[in-house]
Amino acid sequence: MIAIELVVNFTLLGFLLVTALYISQTNRLFRAVMLFGIYSLLTASLFVALDAVDVAFTEAAVGTCIATILMLSALSLTGSRKEVRFRRKNATFAVCVSIALGVALAIGIMDMPQFADPNAPANLHVAPYYLQDSYSEIGIPNVVTSVLASYRGYDTLGEVVVIFTAGIGVIALLTARTSKPKED
Amino acid sequence: MESIGIVNYWIVIALMMIALYIVISANNLIKKIIGLNIFQSSVFILYISIGKVGGGTAPILLKEPAVYSNPLPHVLILTAIVVGVATTALGLALIVRIRSAFGTIDDQDVQQDIERN
């Protein structure tokens, strides 16, 4: 069973790498947006393989559907059907910066605990408490729900505030009185 | 399970590098937003990988004793996904606004337009 889980895990991660590389190379915006939809859906599948079913639901509904629809609407509102131009100078700089990031992160993960280790520090701190006591305290079998809505309820309230603010921002930006676009 | 070590984290780093490359090298603002979203997803994958417990199941309590994965990263990432979409919407609205003010969504064209005036 564990072997199958691992095969699924690495296959999906491989697909993700290929999709991300393709997005970085394509110069058509529509193609990039559709590939981004595929990328999100692959991420959602990976979350199922990693036991995070609630996250997978959210990623499939919000990350895949809403984000892709938002991008498609932005494409149609900006009318950008043209091909994206590439500038070499930019690309060399980008390669240097991302290699620097990769080196820094590689140094950072050197002493990470092994993947799926039950005795990793992250799994020993408060997680056992939630798993053992949340049912008697909250009464919901889904631990993620009881942590999200009860133990970390203020966190979720803050999330709602962020979404509200973003919504106001979007409305303000899209309905603002605009000067005519400059034609020259 | 022990033999695969930290390969997941290596792949996440590769994804982050590709995403940062997209953000910097793309001259089109919508493509920059796509790059940001890919970076964000790779951070999500990193967190969820940390919460995985070998041989575990999803943290929904069963009648019989079982091994569960860590629910805490799941909660954090649930919040992060929704906030991420809110920021994406705001970024795209800004791009639409830039397009109506400058007539282009190419960052260097916008820059030149600003410098000319």
Same domain membership, residue A81 and residue A8 = yes
pLDDT attached to residue A181: 53
Residue A94 lies in a domain: no
Q: Which residues of A touch B36 (CB under 8 A)?
A: none
- Domain hosting A166: range is 120-178
Residues A183/B103, Cβ–Cβ less than 8 Å: yes
- Of A82 and A15, more confident: A15
**What is the total count of domains within chain A?**
2
Same domain membership, residue A10 and residue A73 = yes
Same domain membership, residue A78 and residue A157 = no
- Tokens at residue A57, please? 């639901």
Average pLDDT over residues A89-113: 88
Query: In percent, how much of chain B has pLDDT > 90?
Result: 46
DSSP codes, A89-115: HHHHHHHHHHHHHHHHHHHHHTTPPPT
Taking the CA of residue B41 and the nearest CA in chain A, the distance in Å comes to 7
Query: In percent, how much of chain A has pLDDT > 90?
Result: 42
**Which residue out of B23, B25, B96, B111 would a mutagenesis test of the A interface target, given it has the greatest number of A Cβ atoms within 10 Å?**
B25
Q: Which residues of A touch B3 (CB under 8 A)?
A: none
Q: How does DSSP classify residue B64?
A: S
Write out pLDDT tens, residues A115-141.
878 888 888 888 888 888 888 888 888
Same domain membership, residue A128 and residue A77 = no
Residues A90/B24, Cβ–Cβ less than 8 Å: yes
Is the pLDDT assigned to residue B3 strictly greater than 60?
A: no
Domain boundary among A85, A109, A134: A85
Residue A33 lies in a domain: yes
Q: How far apart are CA B85 and CA B37, in angstroms?
A: 9
Interhelix angle for A88-109 vs B7-25, to 10°? 150
Same domain membership, residue A125 and residue A81 = no
Query: What domains appear along chain B, each with residue ranges and CATH number?
Result: 2-54+66-116 (1.10.287.3510)
- What ipTM was predicted for this assembly? 0.91
Asked whether the beta carbons of residue B94 and residue A173 sit closer than 8 angstroms, the reply is: yes
CB pairs under 8 A between A and B: 297
Question: What average pLDDT does chain B have?
Answer: 88
